[in-house]
């Protein structure tokens, strides 16, 4: 099965969680908007007037006859097919629950530089961002980190037990992004959360992920994605 991923070609964004799952599994996939099709191919699928399952926004995945959207929904679909989710129903529900918690976390991280409107530039909501960001770094990061740390403490090597799941890849990505966006805050916080830091490092070292991160397929973090480095927002 060749999977087609439709996502913005210049950012990691929410599509990166899906790229990581496809890469870890060595799946056959095309990142359509980064190939010949470009953004027009993405917009064509996004605005297809004939589909019965329209998407509100990218990422969108095509898998044979199925077209689906919403990051966590796509990951749940892929997780079952790519061996990145437990076999039991209870296990799958828990991994999806973890992923939805990552989604909430990512939304809060995004809003630290866009507290007023996604339609405005950062510069036009900088003042409010400077007020919001310390609540993110001093209250919300510890709260989410505590949660994922406690899950690892209970369950062992990976969040859902002995086997890696898409939720582990997603927590890796969040930590990686936060290191880029908030290096000062992360330097202070990381020593308190050894289990999630170890999870990050173990995911980064997995052969397929390591090869992906070193390749040109991995888009560098930049000032257009979810994770952005604005020193005025990172006061530790």
Locate tokens 């039991």: which residue?
A: 88
Enumerate binding residues for its own copies (CB under 8 A).
51-56, 65-66, 68-70, 72-73, 76-77, 89-90, 93-94, 96-97, 100-101, 103-104, 107, 111, 115-117, 119-120, 128, 131-132, 135, 139, 144, 147, 150-151, 154-155
Q: Over the range 95-128, which residues count as b (16 or more CB within 10 Å of their CB) and which as e?
A: bbebbbbbbebbebbbbbbbbeeeeeeeeebeeb
CB of 130 to its own copies, least distance (A): 10
CB of 166 to its own copies, least distance (A): 14
User: Is the CB of 54 or the CB of 183 nearer to its own copies?
Assistant: 54
Q: Is the peptide bond before 146 cis (omega within 30 degrees of 0)?
A: no
Q: Beta-carbon neighbour count of residue 131 at 10 Å?
A: 10
Q: How far is CA 163 from CA 12, 78, 156, in A?
A: 25, 16, 10
User: Is the CB of 150 or the CB of 222 nearer to its own copies?
Assistant: 150
The rounded distance, in Å, linking the Cα atoms of 76 and 92 is 8
CB of 221 to its own copies, least distance (A): 23
User: Is the CB of 136 or the CB of 209 nearer to its own copies?
Assistant: 136
CB of 215 to its own copies, least distance (A): 30
User: Is the CB of 111 or the CB of 168 nearer to its own copies?
Assistant: 111
């Amino acid at each position: 099965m060749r999977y087609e991923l439709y996502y913005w070609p210049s950012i990691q964004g929410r599509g990166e969680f899906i790229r990581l799952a496809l890469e870890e599994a060595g799946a056959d996939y095309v990142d359509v908007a980064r190939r010949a099709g470009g953004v027009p191919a993405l917009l064509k699928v996004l605005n297809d007037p004939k589909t019965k399952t329209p998407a509100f926004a990218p990422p969108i995945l095509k898998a044979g006859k199925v077209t689906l959207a919403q990051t966590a929904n796509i990951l749940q679909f892929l997780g079952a097919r790519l061996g990145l989710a437990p076999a039991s129903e209870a296990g799958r529900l828990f991994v999806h629950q973890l992923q939805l918690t990552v989604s909430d976390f990512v939304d809060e991280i995004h809003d630290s530089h866009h507290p007023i409107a996604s339609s405005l530039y950062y510069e036009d909501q900088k003042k409010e961002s400077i007020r919001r960001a310390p609540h993110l770094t001093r209250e919300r990061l510890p709260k989410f980190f505590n949660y994922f740390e406690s899950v690892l403490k209970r369950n062992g090597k990976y969040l859902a037990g002995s086997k890696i799941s898409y939720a582990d890849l997603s927590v890796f990505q969040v930590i990686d992004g936060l290191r880029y966006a908030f290096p000062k805050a992360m330097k202070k916080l990381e020593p308190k959360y050894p289990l999630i830091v170890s999870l990050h490092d173990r995911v980064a070292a997995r052969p397929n992920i390591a090869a992906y991160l070193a390749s040109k397929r991995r888009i560098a973090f930049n000032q257009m994605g979810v994770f952005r480095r604005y020193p005025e927002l990172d006061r530790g």
